[in-house]
A and B are shown apart, each in its own frame.
Chain A
Amino acid sequence: MSDPKLTTLGHDETGAGTVTPPAEESADVAGTQNSLWSDAWRQLRRNVLFWIGATLGLLFVLIALFPKVFARGADPRDCSLSLSGQAPSAEHWFGFDQQGCDYMANVAFGARNSLIIGLLAVAVILVLGVLVGALSGFFGGLVDSLLSRVADIFYALPLILGALVVLRSGFLGRGVVAVAIALAAFGWMTAMRLVRSQVIAVKSSDYVAAARAMGASNSRILVRHILPNAVAPVLVYATITVGVLIAAEATLTFLGVGLQRPAISWGLQIDAGQRLLRTAPHLVLFPSLILTMTVMAFVMMGDALRDALDPRQRS
């Protein structure tokens, strides 16, 4: 380990108020990362918007995991046409839909699909983005030009349009996995660009040069030294993107190419409700409200995370 690294490490550790002796080769990255995260956490804890977002996010996850609790005992498929379109009441907080089903139960049961699609699509995006971005940034040259051009091509097609065409062609099917994959296929480029630029920045740094001089292999350098640096911006991006993708799923489903009945989805509820906007506005209102709060949860958490992880933003 070279001296400059030790100095940097010592400095950062002092700043973070902890002392950890450098133990092994990658301690430099680990060290700066540790202080970055502990600084970020200190920053996050004081951010009101973060706590609002985290609370909403937690609520959403709980609804997705235990919809029955939030349905207040009602079964979303136990319907009675005589109750069709009834307005909210003390007994049934969200009222009834056109089929006379308890609407709160329906909205609660809709959370699970949104969560699964959001998380699954983000997972696929991260795998694609990190893989392509790391390859592109690390090898540079022709590989980089080629992969960057491919990303540009996908960028030229809007997310909703691309997913619309793929889903309509029908070869993926119309389930939860199909929607997630269609969204990921047209949403991986930003993650790729983030990882790529981080890799390029770190690749030329002194400590990577030092590791290379010590005879570390390409894959070791990539995994131990470069990727940890890309974690912060990718995490911010991923958090916000979960929200964006949940909204996109609702939109695709609303447009008739996403989930289909009998699946329960906020997009389907909004689609059905819009025709009754004049007589039963609550049918659009409640799924819209919960959808918006869910998206907001992720946007707020991501925003707060970005502020906390970007030292330049601190005054």
Chain B
Amino acid sequence: MGRYVARRLLLTIPVLFGASFLIFAMVYALPGDPIRALGGDRPLAPAVVAQLKEQYNLNDPLGVQYLKYLGNLAQGDFGTDFRGRPVLETISQRLPITIKLTVVAIAIEAVIGIIAGVLAGIRRNSFFDNVVLVSTTLVVSIPILVLAFVAQFVFGLKLGLFPISGAQEGWYSFILPGLVLASGSLAYVARLTRTSVAENMRADYVRTARAKGLPNRTVVVRHTLRNSLIPVITFVGADIGTLLGGAIVTESVFNLPGIGRAIFDAVRAQEGAVVVGIVTLMVFFFIFFNLVVDVLYAVLDPRIRYE
């Protein structure tokens, strides 16, 4: 088990640095004037340009720039934006919003997705199964952008059930955006669960469980669901890492000042330091939760552990 974790950990290191270097290079080295990019749309005084070049090590080759950036990062220094505000401060202010949104979205996709998937999988080709199949196709096909406006219009404006903008009403503000954000994964979880349950229902060991005279509930819960939910749980786990990276569209449409909104604003304003800082953190979340999921998989499925 320890070796397994160590090996996975080793594989993630190049990915973490590679991805953060990729975004670094895109922000600072793509053709175009990086300083103009740093200044956004405002023209900068030559003295400021020189100072910025110095501050961001832009006179160095790209590799050296990146290493210096990493050096600062290692000391907890994410750099500052144009107004001199530390990037870390922006992150710590925005992250709680995104965490709340993630919690709501994950809860929705896990609970509704798994229940719908299990019911559909147990009774394949039933009416409910077909409802799940058609509605998941529908949900997957609606771009999140469209879904966000439909939700705003129907539940917010017409029915007046939920606030459609901002995070002033605590957790309640997060229900509608959480639902929108979760929709795609929700459909995927439902489908994955359905396929997995249906497949496991036909498994030889479920037949064995029935031949053992176990009560029906034990056969379904212990010998079908437990096995079926392994891929589902790992998907949901990995999704936490993805959602924590911020939802650009959802946070923009619902006007939630989270990580996704921050990154979008930073890209628009070409705040290089903010973009690189947040994306590096985002990649870290993504990789960290994928690693957690890998380990979780090994815990849940003993065949992996001893390979």
Contacts and interface: CB of A to CB of B under 8 A. Distances in A.
Chain A in direct contact with chain B (Cβ < 8 angstroms): yes
Interface of A: 49, 149-150, 152-154, 156-158, 160-162, 164-166, 168-171, 243, 247, 250-251, 254-257, 267, 270, 274, 277-278, 281, 284, 288, 291-292, 295-296, 299-300, 303
Interface of B: 14-16, 18-19, 22-23, 26-27, 30-32, 37, 134, 137-138, 140-146, 149-150, 152-153, 157, 242, 245, 248-249, 252-253, 263-264, 267-268, 270, 275, 279, 282-283, 286-287
Contact of B145 (A162, A171, A250, A278): A250
Nearest to B157: A278
6 contacts: A169-B26, A169-B32, A284-B149, A292-B143, A295-B141, A295-B143
Given A152-B14, A160-B248, A274-B149, 20 more contacts: A149-B15, A154-B19, A154-B22, A156-B283, A161-B245, A165-B23, A165-B26, A168-B268, A171-B31, A247-B143, A247-B144, A250-B143, A254-B145, A270-B146, A270-B149, A278-B157, A281-B153, A284-B149, A295-B141, A300-B141
A251 B247 CA distance: 12
Contacts of A149: 14-15, 18
Contacts of A156: 15-16, 19, 283, 286-287
Nearest to A281: B153
A277 B152 contact: yes
A200 B25 CA distance: 33
A157 B146 CA distance: 23
Contacts of B137: 49, 296, 299-300, 303
B192 to A, nearest CB: 14
B141 to A, nearest CB: 4
A158 B18 CA distance: 14
A161 B248 contact: yes
Contact of A153 (B19, B134, B152): B19
A160 B141 CA distance: 17
B140 A299 contact: yes
Contact of B37 (A169, A270, A278, A303): A169
Contacts of A169: 26-27, 30-32, 37
A295 B26 CA distance: 30
Nearest to A56: B141
Contacts of B19: 153-154, 156-157
Contacts of A277: 149, 152-153, 157
Contacts of A274: 149, 253
A228 B37 CA distance: 46
A270 B253 CA distance: 12
B32 A160 contact: no
Nearest to A168: B267
A132 B144 CA distance: 30
Contacts of A162: 26
Contacts of B26: 162, 165-166, 169
A157 B22 contact: yes
B27 A165 contact: yes
A150 B140 contact: no
B31 to A, nearest CB: 4
Contact of A161 (B142, B149, B279): B279
A270 B248 contact: no
B283 A288 contact: no
A152 B19 CA distance: 8
A97 to B, nearest CB: 16
Contacts of A288: 143, 145-146, 149-150
A270 B145 contact: yes
Give me the 10 closest cross-chain CB pairs, A-B, nearest first: A296-B141, A153-B18, A247-B143, A156-B19, A171-B31, A288-B146, A169-B30, A152-B15, A156-B283, A299-B141
A164 B143 CA distance: 17
Contacts of A251: 143-145, 249
Contacts of B283: 156-157
Contact of A292 (B16, B146, B270): B146
B303 to A, nearest CB: 19
B242 A158 contact: yes
A300 B263 CA distance: 33
Nearest to A298: B141
Nearest to A247: B143
Given A157-B279, A299-B137, A291 B146 contact: yes
A282 B138 CA distance: 21
Contacts of B242: 158
A154 B14 CA distance: 12
A257 B275 CA distance: 16
B277 to A, nearest CB: 13
Contacts of A257: 267
A60 to B, nearest CB: 13
Contacts of B15: 149, 152-153, 156
- Name the residue among A243, A250, A281 with the largest chain B CB count within 10 angstroms: A281
Contact of B252 (A168, A255, A295): A255
A158 B245 contact: yes
Contacts of A170: 32
Nearest to B191: A303
B245 to A, nearest CB: 7
A277 B248 CA distance: 20
A171 B249 contact: no
A154 B283 CA distance: 10
B142 A295 contact: yes
A171 B134 CA distance: 42
Nearest to B145: A251
Nearest to B124: A315
Contacts of B263: 161
A154 B30 CA distance: 17
